[in-house]
Amino acid sequence: MNVKEFIQQYRVVPVVVFNSIEEVRPKLTAMCEGGLPIAEITYRTACAGEAIKIAVSEFPDMLVGAGTVINAEQCRQALDYGARFIVSPGFSEEVAKICNLNDVPYLGGCVTPTEIMTALSYGCDIIKFFPASNYGGLATMKALAAAFPAATFLPTGGISDKNLAEYLAWEKIFAVGGSWMMKGTPEEIKEKCRTAVAIAKDA
């Protein structure tokens, strides 16, 4: 499975926060049933590593990555547990080095030209733009893209099914990330994933 191609098929990356291990199986099952088998499991809670391990071993058809990875230790753990891509809110050079050594895509957060220059110097050409709505959304990304034609973007923060189509309509959007489809019961998650996939297909 090629990670970038897999994400591009869907163009939506669910940002997943697990508060307990009990949530992992029902929520991942709902995402798969909703037709969105991608999970960026975030290191915002203590059970993130364990959740990645379960996701990788029990959901082989899902693309499992790690998010909110803010240091080398979390990055190494996520890779050991089988994460296929790494996402950070900012750009970490130490994380970029580990990902490059392991040939794993690193989507580090950048909101300034200087940060994008650092990312590109590590070969990271998919720029996570976070928090997208606070930093001017599409208008800011378009201004940045003028200087960096090689870059594509993964905006996250403040995106929902209300503005998803607008973001995806711009060809420099690699994919859109967010947690909006992860709220509620497994049944609700399934429905929201279905809606997100349908919007992305039309965009």
Report the interface residues with ligand 3PG, using CB under 6 A.
15, 67-68, 89, 130, 156-159, 177-180
AA letter at 3: V
How far apart are CB 183 and ligand 3PG at their closest, in Å?
A: 9
Decide whether 60 or 90 has the Cβ nearer to ligand 3PG: 90
Decide whether 190 or 192 has the Cβ nearer to ligand 3PG: 192
Cα distance between residue 158 and residue 192, in whole Å: 16
How far apart are CB 18 and ligand 3PG at their closest, in Å?
A: 14
Q: Active-site residues: which are they?
A: 40, 128
Pairing of strands 86-87, 106-107: parallel
> Do 106 and 86 touch, CB atoms closer than 8 A?
yes
How far apart are CB 173 and ligand 3PG at their closest, in Å?
A: 14
The terminus-to-terminus CA distance of the chain in angstroms comes to: 24
> Do 122 and 93 touch, CB atoms closer than 8 A?
yes
Decide whether 49 or 155 has the Cβ nearer to ligand 3PG: 155
